[in-house]
Amino acid sequence: MLTPQPPRPPYPPPGGGSGESDESLAAGTRSGTDSEVAQSTALLIARHWQPVHEYAAICLASSTGAASMVTTAAFHQVFDRLKLGEPGTALRPRLLVTVRDTVRLWAADEGLSTVLPELRKPAGARGLRTAKSLIPENRALTERSFQNLSPVARCVLWHVEVEAESITVAAGLLGLDPATVAAAHEQAREKLREGCVRAHRELAPSKECRFYNRLLDVPIGRGGDLLPDVRQHLDACRYCRAAAEQLGHFEGGLGVLLAEAVLGWGARRYVESRPGRDRQQPVRLKGSNRRRGGGRRAARRTTLLDRIPSPRRRAADGARSPRTLLTGVGLASAGLLTTLLAAGMWSDDGGADPAASTSAAGGAASGTGSQAGPTADPTAPDTAQLPTVPGQTRLRNAAADLCLDIRGEAKAGAAVELADCSTGSTQLWAYEADGQLRSVADRDLCVDSHADAGVVILGACAEADDARADDVRYDLTVQGELLPRWGETLALASTGEDPGADVVVKVRDHSSDQRWLTDAVTASPGSLEITGTETPPAQPVELTDRTA
């Protein structure tokens, strides 16, 4: 059992102590003598124990011994995965998510709840257990974008934006020089925003939302006002209103946005508890005109966000809500709209913890009325069904950058593996409306994740009333995970990052080896683009979602 003594500050200051990055310390937990493993483990605990323990107390609504037990269990789980080869970069958000999931799991165990009365608190573990969704719907775009970033980008964003720590601290955790990390921070912010923009288009519930994609992106990115018809659309569409609100956080409040997108429950309270916020000063990033957390442009953006009318509140009493999302003030020039139309861009292709986050409760990433989002499966009312992937596509593993392929001949019982991406038919798959992942090389064969004790092979496709129907059917999450219907706490994952690696089912942990990308027609990366009538080149993007 781990017996850490929580220090303050939560880890040795960069330049002192061990001087080793989290990744090198994680590697030390996998190899070396017993004393070297113990030393690496102790240093990681010293760096991360205090904030992880504080979040456990938030989730439990109690700082008693139960918080230490949850924190210890979370470290054990994450360290076990490190020993199996998971990267050690961006450990903090991973530990925090593990704490949240551990509290929820323990709260569902009646035996544990009897022993630990803290698990029965409505404002803590019991509320967390009964929450329909841990991540607010109006943070889905940010969650998707953050999970697609590299570990280095996730680490620097989390520690600088959420933890409110200096570039020097992030550099110490990454084992890089501060100038490099400052540049990586700026690039990571842009990549995160680009991912939100791209996700808005890919998950858009209607062609109207896809059209307003760029009309949201450009004005918000430039700090300008929105066109009147865009504001009118936002009044009626919660999905686009949530997208606009998330994009508005990039000039201020990015830490809260990230925490809500990754943690959900207790996110705002965790952000407000960070010691770095008391001493945070606006800093100029190298090579950038942006001042983080301040500046006239950020102040203007905050004012703009504060003046958004909430349709629900306005319908009730005509007043303006302080929890509004986004609108412009004054009339913007119609030049942008004219330019876009002239360029042929019109497309004709057809809770979180309410006490923890105020902004997360103000909208949902779905449309309204008949356009509330993609059609939901009536048998799964808590599942947000998104459109299936059209046609046929390759499936590229996000961690390995290799494609799903068939080992040898396409026949029943053949293993499925990772291989260098090619145009071969054995790498083409059709994800059908009923959830079957069918091989284009042999349309009678589907991906079977149950027949061979969790090792993924090819098996005969099955009718819906077949006893093995769920063995060859999958749901797709927002992160691009393939969840077998016979066990949706599991996900398809690669066993390595080299060609020939097997594909198996593992406990779902949201890691990149469990995410799959597809070749799809898309607009230019990083822009909420409005496509033309002609088909642009295919580019790999994430699988669209069929489940929440």
* Ranges 100-114, 225-239, 396-410, 510-524: which has the least confidence: 510-524
Average pLDDT over residues 350-361: 38
pLDDT at 7: 41
On the CB side of 457, CA atoms within 13 Å amount to: 14
Distance CA 246, CA 278 (A): 24
Average pLDDT over residues 512-528: 63
Higher-scoring residue by pLDDT: 406, 519:
406
Higher-scoring residue by pLDDT: 286, 157:
157
pTM for this predicted structure = 0.55
Confidence of residue 280 (pLDDT cuts 50, 70, 90): low
Query: What's the Cα-to-Cα distance from 235 to each of 222, 239, 310, rounded to whole Å?
Result: 21, 10, 7
pLDDT tens-digit map of 51-83 = 999 999 999 988 888 999 999 999 999 999 998
Query: What's the Cα-to-Cα distance from 483 to each of 161, 390, 547, rounded to whole Å?
Result: 32, 19, 9
Proportion of the chain above pLDDT 70, given as a percent: 70
Sign of the CA dihedral with 56 first, then 61, 64, and 65 last: negative
Between CA 110 and CA 117, with CA 113 as vertex, the angle to 5 degrees is: 155
Distant-in-sequence, close-in-space partners of 489: CB < 8 Å, separation ≥ 6: 507, 508
Distance CA 48, CA 204 (A): 38
Distance CA 274, CA 293 (A): 15
Query: What's the Cα-to-Cα distance from 450 to each of 454, 485, 490, 502, 507, rounded to whole Å?
Result: 5, 10, 11, 14, 14
pLDDT at 227: 85
Torsion of CA 136, 142, 144, 150, to 10 degrees: -140
pLDDT at 279: 63
Average pLDDT over residues 519-523: 51
